[in-house]
C-alpha cells in the first residue's frame, strides 16, 4: 500500500465513520482546523483520560491544573514568544501569496531579482524574508487597540508556571513535584497539514516537573524513559517509536536538552511528544517580568532556590492520529477486503457491539436487555440491521474489539457468542458473565 494512499484512506474512513470532520465543511472548510465526530471524540478522550490517570491519579507527586487560555499579555513577553515565536516569511508582490522563506519550491534567494515565485512563476517579485509571529491575537474589552491585545496561548505550559506557587502552597507538595494540564493551544502555522498532525488549533497534554537544580539531568532521563513506556503501552508498534535528540541548532530558546519521541508516520518520522530540560529559564523570566519572587524555600535544608523544570509535552491530536495510523489494516477474508482499526481495547471508542442474530424468536428482546445493562457502564453499540457478517465488518472499521451475538442458545441456555475482532475467533460465554469478560480485557 503506498503511503499517501494510507493517509487518504484514513481521512476518508475518519469522515465516513465519524472520527474526524473538516471544520465548517459546508462553507468549504477552514484551513487545517478539524472537528471530532462521535467516534473520534471518544478515541481522543480515551487518550487524554489514560494520560491523566498515568500522570496525575497514579502518582503522589503530580497535581492537576486547568488554566485559562487567555493570559496576561506580559506572560508571552516573559516567555519569549512575543519576540521569538516566529517564522521567516516572504510575499510575492505579484500574486500576493505568502511562503516560508525556506520553502523548497522557491528558486533563488528571496529579495533578489532571480528569485522565482513558486505559484505564479514571476521573477524578482519575492520580498526579503520578514519575521511572522505564530501567535493568534485578539482584543480584550470594547476597544480594539494595541493596549487591548491578548493572545490565544501557543502552549499550555505558561499557565502552569504562573500558577506554580499557588499549586505548591495549596497542595502541600514539596519539590520534586509536578503539575499536569490538558488543554487547547493555538498556532498560526504557515505550513500545517497531514490531516490532524499539524493544525492551527490543537490540544496539548503537558506536565512540568519542578526539581532542585543539579538533579535536573537525572529527572530528565527518568521522564523521557517513562514517557516512551507510556506510548509503548498504548499498543503502538515498537519499531515505529524512537527518540530523536535535539542538536544545538534545534534546541528551543528555553531548553538545555531535549528529546522528541517520534513515530514513523506514512509521511516519515515525526515528533509526537517533546521532553525538555527547561532549566530555570521560565521561572526566572516570570520572576523578572512580574517582579514577584518565585523561589522555593526548602525548609529541611534551609535554602532558597529557583527550581529547574523538566517538561513532557505531548499532542493529544497527534497521539490520536498515531493510534489511527498504527491500527489501520486491510485483510482479505473470503474474497473480500476487511478494513480493521486494531485499537487496544482500552483505547477503542466502542468496546462491544451487541447483535440479535435475527429479529425474531425473543432474540431482539434479550439483546436489547443486555445492551441497556452494558450501556450504563461501557460504550457499546446495538445493531440489528443486515447480515451478521456486515455488522461485524462495520464494527471492525470502528475498531470495536468485541461483538456479542444473542442467538437461539441465548434463549434456551442463556449464553452468547463473543467474537474477537483481531482473530475473529468466538467464545461462548454465560449472559451473566459478559460484563466481567469485557472488563477483564479492557483493563490494561
Q: List residues near ligand GAP by CB under 6 A.
A: 155, 157, 187, 189, 198-199, 202, 204, 206, 271-274, 311, 313-315, 317-318
The single residue listed with the C-alpha cell 457502564 is 377
Q: Count the helices and strands in the chain (H runs, E runs).
A: 13, 23
For helices 316-327 and 3-17, the axis angle rounded to 10 degrees is 110
Please state the closest distance from residue 331 (CB atom) to ligand GAP, in A: 30
Can you spell out the DSSP letters for 41-89?
HHHHHHHHHHHHIIIIIT-SSEEEE---SB--HHHHHHTTHHHH-EEEE
| CB-nearer residue toward ligand GAP: 276 or 393 | 276
| CB-nearer residue toward ligand GAP: 85 or 99 | 85
For residues 411 and 424, the answer to whether their CB atoms sit within 8 Å is no
| CB-nearer residue toward ligand GAP: 112 or 191 | 191
Q: Which of 69, 94, 76, 72 is CA-nearest to residue 133?
A: 76
Residue 224's contacts (CB-CB under 8 Å, 6 or more residues apart) are 243, 259, 261, 275
| CB-nearer residue toward ligand GAP: 162 or 314 | 314
| CB-nearer residue toward ligand GAP: 189 or 298 | 189
Distance, in Å, from the CA atom of 8 to the CA atom of 24, rounded to the nearest integer, reads 20
Distance, in Å, from the CA atom of 62 to the CA atom of 187, rounded to the nearest integer, reads 27
Helix (H) or strand (E) holding 10: helix 3-17
Please state the closest distance from residue 194 (CB atom) to ligand GAP, in A: 9
Please state the closest distance from residue 423 (CB atom) to ligand GAP, in A: 33
Q: Are strands 352-356 and 380-382 parallel, antiparallel or unpaired?
A: parallel
| CB-nearer residue toward ligand GAP: 279 or 313 | 313
| CB-nearer residue toward ligand GAP: 78 or 350 | 78
Radius of gyration from C-alpha coordinates of the chain? 26
Q: How many residues does the chain have?
A: 444
| CB-nearer residue toward ligand GAP: 314 or 340 | 314
Helix (H) or strand (E) holding 373: helix 363-375
CA dist list (Å): 345 to 140, 236, 339, 349, 350 = 44, 13, 17, 9, 9
For residues 162 and 147, the answer to whether their CB atoms sit within 8 Å is no
- What is the widest separation between alpha-carbon atoms in the chain? 85
| CB-nearer residue toward ligand GAP: 10 or 370 | 10
Residue 347 buriedness (CB in 10 A; 0-12 / 13-18 / 19+): buried
| CB-nearer residue toward ligand GAP: 318 or 419 | 318
Amino acid at each position: 500500500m503506498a503511503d499517501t494512499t494510507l493517509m487518504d484512506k484514513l481521512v476518508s474512513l475518519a469522515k465516513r465513520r465519524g472520527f474526524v470532520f473538516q471544520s465548517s465543511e459546508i462553507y468549504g472548510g477552514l484551513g487545517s482546523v478539524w472537528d471530532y465526530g462521535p467516534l473520534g471524540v471518544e478515541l481522543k478522550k480515551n487518550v487524554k483520560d489514560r494520560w491523566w490517570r498515568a500522570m496525575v491519579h497514579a502518582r503522589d507527586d503530580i497535581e492537576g491544573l486547568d488554566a485559562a487560555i487567555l493570559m496576561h499579555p506580559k506572560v508571552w513577553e516573559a516567555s519569549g514568544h512575543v519576540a521569538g515565536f516566529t517564522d521567516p516569511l516572504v510575499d510575492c508582490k505579484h500574486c500576493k501569496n505568502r511562503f516560508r522563506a525556506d520553502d523548497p519550491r522557491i528558486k533563488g534567494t528571496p529579495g533578489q531579482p532571480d528569485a522565482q515565485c513558486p505559484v505564479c512563476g514571476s521573477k524578482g517579485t519575492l520580498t526579503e524574508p520578514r519575521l511572522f509571529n505564530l501567535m493568534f491575537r485578539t482584543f480584550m474589552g470594547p476597544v480594539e487597540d494595541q493596549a487591548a491585545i491578548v493572545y490565544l496561548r501557543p502552549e499550555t505550559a505558561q499557565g502552569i508556571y504562573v500558577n506554580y506557587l499557588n499549586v505548591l502552597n495549596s497542595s502541600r507538595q514539596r519539590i520534586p513535584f509536578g503539575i499536569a494540564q490538558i488543554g487547547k493551544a493555538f498556532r498560526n502555522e504557515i505550513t500545517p497539514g497531514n490531516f490532524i498532525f499539524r493544525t492551527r488549533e490543537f490540544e496539548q497534554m503537558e506536565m512540568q516537573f519542578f526539581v532542585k537544580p543539579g538533579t535536573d539531568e537525572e529527572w530528565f532521563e527518568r521522564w523521557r524513559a517513562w514517557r516512551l513506556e507510556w506510548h509503548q503501552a498504548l499498543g503502538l508498534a515498537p519499531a515505529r517509536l524512537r527518540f530523536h535528540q535535539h542538536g544545538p541548532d534545534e534546541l528551543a530558546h528555553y531548553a538545555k536538552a531535549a528529546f522528541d519521541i517520534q513515530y514513523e508516520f506514512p509521511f516519515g518520522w515525526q515528533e509526537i511528544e517533546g521532553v525538555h530540560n527547561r532549566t530555570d529559564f521560565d521561572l526566572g523570566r516570570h520572576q523578572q517580568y512580574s517582579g514577584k519572587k518565585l523561589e522555593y524555600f526548602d525548609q529541611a535544608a534551609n535554602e532558597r532556590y529557583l527550581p529547574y523544570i523538566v517538561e513532557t509535552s505531548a499532542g493529544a491530536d497527534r497521539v490520536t492520529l498515531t493510534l489511527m495510523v498504527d491500527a489501520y489494516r486491510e485483510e482479505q477474508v473470503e474474497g473480500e477486503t476487511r478494513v480493521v482499526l486494531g485499537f487496544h481495547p482500552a483505547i477503542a471508542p466502542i468496546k462491544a457491539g451487541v447483535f440479535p442474530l435475527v429479529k425474531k424468536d425473543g432474540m431482539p428482546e434479550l439483546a436489547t436487555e443486555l445492551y441497556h445493562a452494558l450501556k450504563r457502564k461501557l460504550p457499546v453499540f446495538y445493531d440489528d440491521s443486515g447480515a451478521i457478517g456486515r455488522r461485524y465488518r462495520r464494527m471492525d472499521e470502528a475498531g470495536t474489539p468485541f461483538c456479542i451475538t444473542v442467538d437461539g442458545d441465548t434463549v434456551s441456555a442463556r449464553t452468547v457468542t463473543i467474537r474477537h475482532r483481531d482473530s475473529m475467533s468466538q467464545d461462548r460465554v454465560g449472559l451473566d458473565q459478559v460484563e466481567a469478560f469485557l472488563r477483564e480485557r479492557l483493563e490494561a
